[in-house]
């Protein structure tokens, strides 16, 4: 009995080959995470696996160790599909740590970079191809990659890939790989589309569930502020003055990320941004700078919610609430990683309280509403709320009031606007 409990908290006893165990020990990987403990023995036996676990729980090694062990002893090829470039690069980095001493070769096929170096990497017969679905389809269409040797397929962050609209590409890839293969699917949630993929493309998969969908990281504390749109930037200024550690700020749009990053730099904090308008090199520089401490603040859209694997993030700020309640879990999961503590703050506009109720239903807990602190005065050039804007500038286009309001209101007579108001001039932010 003592022997069993001892083996359950180390990598020994999971069916891992001695050579790989030595590599893990040298890398100071001593205690497997729950998903690793449950998935590795099943995957090493060659069985199909459906793993349900949050991000940051060690899923990369849960499929990476079985892939490396199998390809070290038999011919074949592994294929790992991921939703974002950042995740692909992180998986490649993690697999290299374990597989490099064994001569593991990989090819990373992602958008935002030239096809030529990727074609060169494919020509070297890599053991594992790590790809985003869109770029892999590009290579398949150009016949620069062949998948007939693939005997292990991994779909990582499967729910996120579907959220991003990759289902058609995934179906094409599943059609292109051999039917005789081992398939592992990892996801934080299990929507019906993923259940359908598992049923049609996997052989009696064994389900491994570490935490039910919507489970938040254990050691993250959460609070919300009810705040008007025009006061959000000043609240952010206040919070960044109170918290000294590394901070990750999420916005809903790439334009919002750019605006918030610019404002944070005006507050005299080192800040970088990650969103789809940034090139791969810019995104890597931002992420590396955030890891090294060059940037204290990183502003990101949901493209990075599952792609940022940085330990020691003290604070996550939801400057905008996510469009999907499930993304809230992934965002705040960027802090309190690997057993550390962390804090998450969400800015909620008064009209968004229904969205908060949906998040609370998902995570099965009530979020604490904190009293709004006294805020610093507005900075020069700060955006105003729509309610303030309506008082600050004329409601209708080019300063004119519509004709139907009458001459007594100062509307100029204009024959083309007779009987109807001129078209409003809207300002897009």
Per the model's pLDDT, the better-predicted residue between 226 and 303 turns out to be 226
Which tens digits make up the pLDDT trace of 205-252? 999 988 665 566 667 889 999 999 999 999 999 999 999 889 999 999
Q: Which fold has domain 220-369?
A: Rossmann fold (3.40.50)
Mean confidence (pLDDT) of the chain? 83
More confident residue, 312 or 170: 170
User: What is the enclosing helix (H) or strand (E) of 299?
Assistant: strand 297-300
* Domain edges within the chain: 2-209, 220-369, 393-417
- The per-residue pLDDT for 423 is 45
| pLDDT at res. 409 | 39
How much is the average pLDDT of 165-174? 93
Q: How far apart are CA 351 and CA 369, in angstroms?
A: 15
CA-to-CA distance for 294 and 111, rounded, in angstroms? 26
Is the pLDDT at 164 greater than 70? The verdict is yes
Q: Are 50 and 35 in contact (CB under 8 A)?
A: no
Same fold, 2-209 and 220-369: yes
Residue 375's alpha-carbon distances to 26, 238, 239, 295, 334, in angstroms, are 50, 7, 10, 25, 27
- Name which of 202, 193, 199 is nearest 168 in CA terms: 193
DSSP-derived secondary structure letter, 83: S
Confidence class of residue 422 from pLDDT cuts 50, 70 and 90?
A: very low
The residues, ordered by sequence, that sit 6+ positions from 55 with a Cβ below 8 Å of its Cβ are 157, 188, 306, 330, 333
Q: Does domain 2-209 have CATH number 3.40.50.300?
A: yes
């Amino acid at each position: 009995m003592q022997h069993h409990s001892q083996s359950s908290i180390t990598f020994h006893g999971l069916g891992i080959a001695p050579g790989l165990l030595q590599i893990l020990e040298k890398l100071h990987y001593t205690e497997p995470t729950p998903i690793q403990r449950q998935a590795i023995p099943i995957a090493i036996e060659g069985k199909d696996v459906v793993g349900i676990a949050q991000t940051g729980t060690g899923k990369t090694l849960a499929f990476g160790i079985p892939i490396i062990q199998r390809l070290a002893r038999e011919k074949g090829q592994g294929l790992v599909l991921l939703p974002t470039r950042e995740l692909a690069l992180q998986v490649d980095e993690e697999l290299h740590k374990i597989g490099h001493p064994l001569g593991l070769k990989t090819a990373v096929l992602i958008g935002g970079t030239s096809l030529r170096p990727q074609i060169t990497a494919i020509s070297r017969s890599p053991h594992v191809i790590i790809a985003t679905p869109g770029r892999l389809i590009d290579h398949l269409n150009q016949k620069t990659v062949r998948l007939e040797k693939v005997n292990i397929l991994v779909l990582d962050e499967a729910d996120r890939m579907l959220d991003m609209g990759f289902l058609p590409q995934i179906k094409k890839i599943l059609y292109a790989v051999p039917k005789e293969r081992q398939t592992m699917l990892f996801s934080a949630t299990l929507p019906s589309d993923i259940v359908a993929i598992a049923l049609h493309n996997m052989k009696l998969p064994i389900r491994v569930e570490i935490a039910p969908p919507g489970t938040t990281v254990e050691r993250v504390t959460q609070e919300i502020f009810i705040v008007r749109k025009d006061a959000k930037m000043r609240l952010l200024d206040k919070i960044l003055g109170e918290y000294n550690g590394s901070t990750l700020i999420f916005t809903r749009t790439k334009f919002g990320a750019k605006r918030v990053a610019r404002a944070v730099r005006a507050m005299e904090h080192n800040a970088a941004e990650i969103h789809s308008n940034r090139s791969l090199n810019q995104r890597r520089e931002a992420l590396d700078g955030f890891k090294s401490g060059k940037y204290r603040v990183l502003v990101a859209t949901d493209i990075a919610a599952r792609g940022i694997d940085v330990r020691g993030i003290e604070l996550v700020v939801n400057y905008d609430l996510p469009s999907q309640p499930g993304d809230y879990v992934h965002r705040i999961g960027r802090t309190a990683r690997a057993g550390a503590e962390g804090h998450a703050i969400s800015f909620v506009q008064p009209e968004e309280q229904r969205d908060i109720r949906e998040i609370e239903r998902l995570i099965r807990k009530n979020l604490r509403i904190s009293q709004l602190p006294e805020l610093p005065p507005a900075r020069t050039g700060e955006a105003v709320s729509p309610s303030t804007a309506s008082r600050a500038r004329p409601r209708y286009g080019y300063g004119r009031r519509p004709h139907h309001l009458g001459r007594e209101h100062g509307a100029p007579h204009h024959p083309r606007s007779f009987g109807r108001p001129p078209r409003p001039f809207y300002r897009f932010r």
